[in-house]
Amino acid sequence: MSRFFSEKYAGLEPYTPGEQPQDRAYIKLNTNESPFPPSVSVAAAVKEESELLQLYCDPECRELREEMSKVFGVNSKNIMMVNGSDEALNFAFMAFADQKRPLVFPDITYGFYPVFAQLNRIPYTEIPLKSDFSINPADYTAINKTVVIANPNAPTGLFLGLDAIEQIVSSNPDNAVIIDEAYIDFGGESALPLTAKYDNLLVIGTFSKSRSLAGARLGFAFGNEKLIADLNTIRYSTNPYNVNRLTARAGIAALKDNGYYMNNCRIIEKNREKTAAALKDLGFTVIPSKANFIFAKSDRIGGEKLYSALKEKGILVRRFNKERIADFCRITVGTDEQMTLLTDAIKTIFKEMNL
């Protein structure tokens, strides 16, 4: 730390992104990216747009929001586009939480929530998930705080039904409820239709997981017109050009090919179920997932050991050094071929270690 660093950030513990190693080619099953490339029209659209890079992008993202409207059936005034959904989360925390409206989220969830809370000096409470890692909706009912829930949750992959979400939203009418749907396209059901009924519901999504654009940084928020206006107040006070030209164009092209991405999601779901079954056959405890990853642990090998042994064999998975989940690994669901390599590698590890 330099002696110039502001005291207000002195204790800040930054988010630790999953490894993006450059030393060798790994089978990357650690950051929930898509194993499939963007649809072919994306590259062509980006190339064409690159000839206009001397010009600023449209801060309102009008064309992109129009395309979003068509795909999601939402009025464009109910949409804000962002530089990755992490930015929407930060803006939403800035806009809808403070000393008077502290945050509440599960103890096991997306690691960025406590970081954004600390960054913005918002008090927060972590509510323990039940022993099976599910969320108890009663814990959030009429809680009178700004609620943030990832649905499906990360890193568990568990999906919370819309009845429970609606109960949480309707019982906290004086607070925003933020539902982070980064993984919604892999078998969950979006809370988006509820935004028409509840003015306190914000639904956040991303192109990073189901639409193969993690590297482009594109996310979005859906909600009541006034919520979106508040978020735009924050956005225009930080970076109105948050979605650059190339990314906006890539997003438009991707939305026009929506069927390609949704079909990829069905392939991932199939690979997920097959891999989950294979891991159970190997004795793993597997949490039922509606996401593009599997959260699993083995009684035969600790989480850290399995992570290291797989890394040695060229397969990267994610592990969290956190009390309740230290023996779990979070494994991104890739292609059928990648998943076979994963389960074969685990069998080899068990054999080599006499487990």
Ligand X SMILES: *Cc1c(COP(=O)(O)O)cnc(C)c1O
- In the list 61, 115, 122, 150, the residue contacting ligand X (rule: CB under 6 A) is 150
φ, ψ for residue 28 (rounded to 5)?
Answer: -90, 100
Is 84 a binder of ligand X (CB under 6 A)? yes
Q: Give start and end residues of each alpha helix (H) in 181-221.
A: none
How many amino acids of this chain bind ligand X (CB under 6 A)? 13
- In the list 148, 182, 246, 345, the residue contacting ligand X (rule: CB under 6 A) is 182
Q: Are 291 and 152 in contact (CB under 8 A)?
A: yes
For residue 284, the one-letter residue type is F
State the nearest-atom distance from the C-beta of 208 to ligand X, in Å.
3
State the nearest-atom distance from the C-beta of 156 to ligand X, in Å.
11
3 state SS for 84-145: CHHHHHHHHHHHHCCCCCCEEEECCCCCHHHHHHHHCCCCEEEECCCCCCCCCHHHHCCCCC
- In the list 39, 78, 190, 208, the residue contacting ligand X (rule: CB under 6 A) is 208
State the nearest-atom distance from the C-beta of 49 to ligand X, in Å.
20
Which of residues 204 and 253 has its CB atom nearest to ligand X in the complex? 204
Closest CA to 82 of 255, 248, 213, 257: 248
Is 247 a binder of ligand X (CB under 6 A)? no
Site for ligand X in 217-236 (CB under 6 A): 219
- CA distances from residue 299 to 188, 229, 286, 346 in whole angstroms, order as listed: 29, 50, 12, 13
Torsion, CA 295, CA 299, CA 301, CA 304, rounded to 10: 40
Question: Given the rule CB under 6 A, which of 14-22, 78-86, 98-106, 273-281 is the region that contacts ligand X?
Answer: 78-86
| 210: its two tokens | 């189901």
The 3-state DSSP class for residue 332 equals strand
DSSP state, 318?
B
**What would the x/- binding string for ligand X be over residues 307 to 346, using CB under 6 A?**
----------------------------------------
State the nearest-atom distance from the C-beta of 307 to ligand X, in Å.
18
Site for ligand X in 97-136 (CB under 6 A): 110
Q: Is residue 155 reached through a cis peptide bond, with omega within 30 degrees of 0 on the bond before it?
A: yes
State the nearest-atom distance from the C-beta of 331 to ligand X, in Å.
14
For residue 66, the one-letter residue type is E
**How far is C-alpha 122 from the chain's CA centre?**
21
**What would the x/- binding string for ligand X be over residues 27 to 66, using CB under 6 A?**
-----x----------------------------------
Which of residues 127 and 355 has its CB atom nearest to ligand X in the complex? 127
* Positions in the binding site for ligand X (CB under 6 A): 32, 84-86, 110, 150, 154, 180, 182, 206, 208, 214, 219
